[in-house]
């Protein structure tokens, strides 16, 4: 259960996560970020909690979806 006033996004919903990241960081180039830096951006999203434990492939897929567009 999420904290009141926050939205919870699962790591399995990469498209949802990418939408939020794009809106919060419109100038960021995800190709320039390593996995730890991507995780830090996700952790720093205001009003958003994530559920699930990402593996290295989740970061790679996130990077692709963010960069190449829907």
Partner 1 sequence: MKTQEGVWFGCELEALGVDGFDEGDDLPEEFRQLITQVVMVQADLESELVFDSSLLRHNILAAPDPRGRMRMAKFFAEEVRHGYTFWRIAKGLGVELTGRYFREAKRKRQEAFEHIGAVSDWTELAIVNTLTDRMGVFVFKDMQDCSYRPWAQVSLEVARDEVGHTALGYANLRESIEKRGQLEAAQRYLEKWYPMTLDMFGRSDSSRQWRYVAWGIKRSGNEELRLRFVEEVNPLLRQVGLEPPDYLFNRHFL
In the complex, the residues that contact partner 1 under the rule CB under 8 A are 29, 31-32, 55-58, 60-61, 63-65, 67-70
Residue 40 or 47 having the CB closest to partner 1 = 40
Q: Which of 24, 16, 70, 15 is nearest to 7 (CA)?
A: 16
Nearer to partner 1, 45 or 65 (CB): 65
- In the chain, the largest separation of any two C-alpha atoms, in whole Å, equals 33
Residue whose tokens read 């958003």: 48
Task: In whole angstroms, give the CA distance from residue 18 to residue 7.
Answer: 14
Q: Please, what is the minimum distance in Å from the beta carbon of residue 21 to partner 1?
A: 14
Complex with partner 1: residue 41 or 64, whichever CB lies closer: 64
């Amino acid at each position: 259960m999420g904290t009141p006033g926050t939205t919870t996004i699962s790591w399995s919903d990469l498209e949802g996560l990418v939408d939020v990241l794009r809106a919060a960081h419109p100038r960021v180039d995800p190709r320039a970020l390593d996995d730890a830096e991507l995780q830090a951006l996700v952790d720093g999203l205001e009003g958003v909690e994530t559920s699930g434990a990402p593996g290295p492939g989740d970061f790679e897929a996130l990077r692709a979806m963010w960069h190449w567009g829907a």
